[in-house]
Amino acid sequence: MKKLISAALASAMVLSLAACGSTGDSSSAASGTGDSTAATAEASAAGETTPIKLGGIGPVTGANAQYGTAVKNGEQLAVDEINAAAGYTVFELSFEDDESDSEKAVNAFNKLLDDGMQVLLGPVTSDPSISVAAECASENIFMLTPSASSQDVVDSGAGNAFQMCFTDPNQGKTAADYIAANSLGTAIGIIYDSSDAYSTGIYTAFQAEAEAKGLEIVQTSSFTADNNTDLSTQVSQCQQAGADLVFLPIYYQQASQVLIAANNIGYEPAFFGCDGMDGILSIDGFDTSLANDLMLLCPFSAYGEDETTKTFVAAYQAAYTETPNQFAADAYDCVYAVYQCLQDGVITPDMSAEDMCDALKTAFTSMTFSGTTGENQTWAADGTITKDPKVYQVQDGAYVLMSSKQ
Amino acid sequence: MLSRLKTMKKTTRSNLITFGIVIVFYLVVQILSGAGLTTRSFEGQLVPICAYVVLAISLNLTVGFLGELSLGHAGFMSVGAFSGVLLWTLVGDSLPAFVAIPLAFIVGGIVAGIFGVIVGVPVLRLSGDYLAIVTLAFGEIIKNIINALYLGVDENGVHFSLTDANSMGLSADGETLINGAMGITGIKKASTFTIGFVLILITLIVILNLINSRTGRAIMAIRDNEIAAQSVGINLTRFKLTAFVVSAVFAGFAGVLYGLNYSSLVASRFDYNTSIQILVFVVLGGIGSIRGSIIAAALLTVLPEVLRGLQDYRMLIYAIVLIVVMIFNQSPQIIAWRKRIIGRFSSKKGEPEKKEVA
């Protein structure tokens, strides 16, 4: 009897594995034939027969899964839009999970290269990006990360790695400049995540710039990833120190904890966050009225009135039934930035990954790109982006652009 | 030669087979990669495989031979990795690679060993669950300290801080070496499969010899019955500490190998999940079986990558495979069933051999 059961189990497993393999094969075969028929129809017009293979890497499982999933959705949406508009497969995206870990990210990168990836749009988080950027430098692959904002990412890429987001030091500096120029606070409290590269990166630059601008920091409180569920201690520290502005270079989940804790003790300073704050209005079960008057320095607003943003937000909501955050927007822009190069004739699908890397490097440093995360964005030769920082204020469940002096 | 193999002691033969597996694997991979038959994806996993194999062997010394459950192995890996990589970033450019790389390993091993002594002396008074929990706490302490550690160097010397990067007071052209949660970045990759292979061989030679030595027998006597061992005059503290520290030193070596394979190194990589992962290699391979540890570590490192094609179901299948293998290896009924099957095959094969002998 046991033999029978184990044999049945084993064969079921083998079959399920085989089934997975075969469905994968048949679908790729189907899309392959689809490509060729579509391509023959279009071939005369566009002369493009093979799609460009884009690779994506990001955490779709594990603690940072929400960021990776947003990026994956954003990239997929852009690819689908471009393919639908062109009438044939322009881009083919394969997205691999890295669980926000260097080892897995490098494994994913190698896997994508085995599969013939030509351009890498990832990874999502900083630490894996640093390791993958070094691989991109040695293999001469073009890497455009939507959201890995550490300065070390572009340094490690040695000219091959480009960013769609601001670097952390840049954000910290801009935030301090903005607060000083608009006299938003006289006594500043800071709550940051000391175990997170993004948060400490912004904090370090903010602190240095605040000193230079003569801002008074009265309280610095930190927490780590292991104790980020209750931040009331940090909030009361800021209250006791008399901070009238609390700077929050942290992600929206923790920021919501801060806002709730402040509300509980009746503490009402001005709150100022960075791009990680985007998404605070779409947390399940969070009373968004607590976020009223919250300011955030962020290149993207899902409530923007321009045509690009409106189209993107509508399409994203239709596809994934949620409001996109800046991760999705940056990812969406990454695909369109590469598409712009394709339309300009800088790259062609038959190029090798190495040639494409050289072509894209030259193109990115000379072109101007407008997307959902800003108009007229340009890249420096080291891979960092320049775009207008925008400061929004939350009012009645939406972002309102703050009128300001920079 | 063959006859000598037959008359050999059982343990010696078993050890030779273990060495044989490692060497044959190395040669096969080298030949395949020379012929261009391996994928990048596979080649990229070779160094992590070597690191995990060394970790599994070293943890097996604590868990399998000393008989103490340690959940802080990633902590030793972490201090080894950080100290070795730190040395490599400092001297990697000035010294030739064949001096700098072994030096990085030695430093990583020594530092991990020192931590082994620091942790071992108070902790080894405990045993069982208590020891497991204290080692778990140790791993977390290491992770949190390195996460908060800022270390930099400028013309005035070395600066360090446990609060933030600005408070180190580095001069403008100073260089930050360990940057808190961001760890060490911009590491020049140095690990190769060959270095990993040599490290596995060294680990095997040292640990197999230790197990089969007088010290090893004393360690196993403590495992089997502490009171009996004490009554025949075995110094408990000394032998427990020896096993624990040797285990820590090799975890440190593995950490250096791992750290030198990536251009960034963060402390949060070495959390209790990593400790548990190493423990899974040991338990799945068979507690007390070095060869089992090697095979389990290699297979379980490759498995998630092989399953990438399954997309979202990947980790689910991985978990199911773990459960199935665990049952296949450990369940008494399955073991009996396996013996029956193997018995049926070997009795058929065995008969002509017997005739030859006769």
Q: What is the DSSP string of B87-136?
A: HHHHHTTTS-HHHHHHHHHHHHHHHHHHHHHHHHHHHTTS-HHHHHHHHH
DSSP structure class, residue A302: T
* Pair (A67, A114) in one structural domain: yes
pLDDT at residue A10 greater than cutoff 50: no
Q: What is the model's pLDDT at position A132?
A: 95
Among residues A187, A192, A151, A197, the alpha carbon closest in space to that of A170 is found at A151
pLDDT at residue A405 greater than cutoff 70: no
Contact A204 B165 (CB under 8 A): yes
* Pair (A180, A285) in one structural domain: yes
Q: What is the model's pLDDT at position A35?
A: 41
Which of A107, A149, A151, A219 should we substitute to test contact with B (largest number of B Cβ atoms within 10 Å)? A107
Q: What is the model's pLDDT at position A162?
A: 94
Q: How far is A222 from chain B (nearest CA, A)?
A: 10
Using the Cβ of B337 and the Cβ atoms of chain A, whether some distance falls under 8 Å is answered with: yes
Q: What is the model's pLDDT at position A284?
A: 83
Using the Cβ of B133 and the Cβ atoms of chain A, whether some distance falls under 8 Å is answered with: no
Q: Is the ipTM of this complex over 0.85?
A: yes
Contact A197 B182 (CB under 8 A): yes
* Pair (A146, A235) in one structural domain: no
* Pair (A145, A51) in one structural domain: yes
DSSP structure class, residue B181: G
Question: ∠ CA(A287), CA(A291), CA(A294), 5° rounding?
Answer: 175
Q: What is the mean pLDDT of chain B?
A: 89
User: What's the CATH code of the domain at A281?
Assistant: 3.40.50.2300
Q: Is residue A335 in some structural domain?
A: yes
- Read off the pLDDT of each residue in A195-206 and give the average, rounded to a whole number: 89
> What residue ranges do the domains of chain B occupy?
14-357
pLDDT at residue A261 greater than cutoff 80: yes
Q: What is the model's pLDDT at position B148?
A: 87
Helix axes B193-211, B290-306, angle to 10 degrees: 150
Q: Is residue A405 in some structural domain?
A: no
pLDDT at residue B72 greater than cutoff 80: yes
Q: Which of A60, A152, A195 sits opposite B147 (nearest CB)?
A: A195
What is the per-residue burial (b if ≥16 Cβ within 10 Å, else e) of A107-122? Answer: bbbbbbbeeebbbbbb
Contact A2 B269 (CB under 8 A): no
pLDDT tens column, A98-132: 988 999 999 999 999 999 999 999 899 989 999 99
Contacts A110 to B, Cβ<8 Å = 39-41, 43-44
- Read off the pLDDT of each residue in A341-369 and give the average, rounded to a whole number: 91
Contact B41 A61 (CB under 8 A): no
Using the Cβ of B181 and the Cβ atoms of chain A, whether some distance falls under 8 Å is answered with: yes
Contact A127 B189 (CB under 8 A): no
Domain boundary among A298, A324, A354: A298
Using the Cβ of B263 and the Cβ atoms of chain A, whether some distance falls under 8 Å is answered with: yes
pLDDT at residue A166 greater than cutoff 80: yes
- Read off the pLDDT of each residue in B245-269 and give the average, rounded to a whole number: 95
pLDDT at residue A20 greater than cutoff 60: no
Contact A102 B266 (CB under 8 A): yes
pLDDT tens column, A380-397: 999 999 888 889 999 988
DSSP structure class, residue A347: -
Q: What is the model's pLDDT at position A339?
A: 94
Does the CA dihedral B273-B279-B280-B281 come out positive or negative? positive
Reported confidence tier of residue A49, pLDDT bands at 50, 70, 90: low
Using the Cβ of B310 and the Cβ atoms of chain A, whether some distance falls under 8 Å is answered with: yes
pLDDT at residue A38 greater than cutoff 70: no
Using the Cβ of B257 and the Cβ atoms of chain A, whether some distance falls under 8 Å is answered with: no
pLDDT at residue B349 greater than cutoff 90: no
Reported confidence tier of residue B5, pLDDT bands at 50, 70, 90: low
Reported confidence tier of residue B325, pLDDT bands at 50, 70, 90: confident
Provide the β-strand partners of residue A268.
none
- Read off the pLDDT of each residue in A191-197 and give the average, rounded to a whole number: 88
Contact B313 A134 (CB under 8 A): no
Contact A114 B41 (CB under 8 A): yes
Question: Cβ contacts of residue B31 below 8 Å, gap of 6+?
Answer: none
Q: How far is A210 from chain B (nearest CA, A)?
A: 12
Of A238-242, A246-250, B354-358, minimum mean pLDDT range: B354-358
- Dihedral pair phi/psi, residue B176, rounded to 5°: -85, 125
Q: Is residue A77 in some structural domain?
A: yes
Is residue A336 helix, strand or coil? helix
Q: What is the model's pLDDT at position A42?
A: 42
| % helix, strand, coil for chain A, step of 5 | 50, 15, 30
pLDDT at residue A34 greater than cutoff 60: no
What is the per-residue burial (b if ≥16 Cβ within 10 Å, else e) of B158-190? Answer: ebebeebbeebebeeebebbbbbbbbbbebeeb
Contacts B264 to A, Cβ<8 Å = 102, 127, 130-131, 152, 156
Q: What is the model's pLDDT at position B301?
A: 92
* Pair (A55, A142) in one structural domain: yes
Contacts A2 to B, Cβ<8 Å = 333, 337
Q: Which of A96, A110, A156 sits opposite B185 (nearest CB)?
A: A156
Of A226-235, A355-364, B209-218, minimum mean pLDDT range: A226-235
Count CB pairs under 8 A between chains A and B.
111
Domain boundary among A268, A298, A328: A298
Which of B39, B41, B265 should we substitute to test contact with A (largest number of A Cβ atoms within 10 Å)? B41
- Read off the pLDDT of each residue in A18-33 and give the average, rounded to a whole number: 37
pLDDT at residue A64 greater than cutoff 90: no
Q: What is the model's pLDDT at position A51?
A: 92
Contact A155 B263 (CB under 8 A): no
Contacts B324 to A, Cβ<8 Å = 9, 13
Contacts A194 to B, Cβ<8 Å = 147-148, 164, 180-181
Contact A110 B40 (CB under 8 A): yes
* Pair (A126, A137) in one structural domain: yes
CA distances in angstroms from A203 to A46, A245, A273, A274, B268, listed in the order given: 49, 15, 11, 11, 19
Give the span between the Cα atoms of B14 and B25, in whole angstroms.
17
Reported confidence tier of residue B348, pLDDT bands at 50, 70, 90: low
Domain boundary among A269, A298, A327: A298
Nearest residue of chain B to residue A105 (CA atoms): B262
Q: What is the model's pLDDT at position B313?
A: 81
Is residue B159 helix, strand or coil? strand
Give the span between the Cα atoms of B68 and B65, in whole angstroms.
8
pLDDT at residue A26 greater than cutoff 70: no
Q: What is the model's pLDDT at position B127?
A: 76
What HEC string does A225-286 produce?
HHHCCCCHHHHHHHHHCCCCEEEECCCHHHHHHHHHHHHHCCCCCEEEECHHHCCHHHCCCC
Q: Work out the burial of residue A334: count CB atoms within 10 Å of its CB; fewer than 13 is exposed, 13-18 middle, 19 or more buried.
A: buried
Cβ count within 10 A of residue A21: 12
pLDDT at residue A13 greater than cutoff 50: no
- Dihedral pair phi/psi, residue B131, rounded to 5°: -60, -40
Q: Is residue A40 in some structural domain?
A: no
Reported confidence tier of residue B358, pLDDT bands at 50, 70, 90: very low
Reported confidence tier of residue B354, pLDDT bands at 50, 70, 90: very low
* Pair (A190, A289) in one structural domain: yes
pLDDT at residue B155 greater than cutoff 70: yes
Element (H, E) at A177: helix A168-181
Provide the β-strand partners of residue A121.
A56
Q: How far is B182 from chain A (nearest CA, A)?
A: 5
Nearest residue of chain A to residue B338 (CA atoms): A3
Reported confidence tier of residue A41, pLDDT bands at 50, 70, 90: very low
pLDDT at residue B38 greater than cutoff 60: yes
Q: What is the mean pLDDT of chain A?
A: 85
Q: Which residue has the higher pLDDT, A55 or B333?
A: A55
Reported confidence tier of residue B345, pLDDT bands at 50, 70, 90: confident
Task: State the architecture of B14-357 in CATH terms.
Answer: Orthogonal Bundle (1.10)
Q: What is the model's pLDDT at position B172?
A: 77
Q: What is the model's pLDDT at position A141?
A: 94
Using the Cβ of B165 and the Cβ atoms of chain A, whether some distance falls under 8 Å is answered with: yes
Reported confidence tier of residue B47, pLDDT bands at 50, 70, 90: very high
What is the per-residue burial (b if ≥16 Cβ within 10 Å, else e) of A260-291? Answer: bbbeeeebebbbbbbbbbbbbbeeeebebebb
Q: What is the model's pLDDT at position B2?
A: 62
Using the Cβ of B306 and the Cβ atoms of chain A, whether some distance falls under 8 Å is answered with: no
* Pair (A70, A161) in one structural domain: yes
Strands B264-265 and A91-97: unpaired
Q: What is the model's pLDDT at position B259?
A: 96
Reported confidence tier of residue B249, pLDDT bands at 50, 70, 90: very high
Contact A131 B262 (CB under 8 A): yes
Q: What is the model's pLDDT at position B99?
A: 93
Strands B150-154 and B175-179: antiparallel
* Pair (A91, A182) in one structural domain: no
Say if CB B184 and CB B2 are below 8 A apart.
Answer: no
Q: What is the model's pLDDT at position B166?
A: 78
pLDDT at residue A47 greater than cutoff 90: no
Q: Residue B237 is encoded by which pair of tokens?
A: 């503290």
Most confident of A111-120, A389-398, B1-10, B152-161: A111-120
Contact A110 B263 (CB under 8 A): no
The H-assigned helical ranges of A344-386 are 353-366
Q: Is residue A403 in some structural domain?
A: no
Give the span between the Cα atoms of A190 and B140, in whole angstroms.
26
Nearest residue of chain B to residue A133 (CA atoms): B263
Segments forming the whole domain that contains residue A217: 169-298
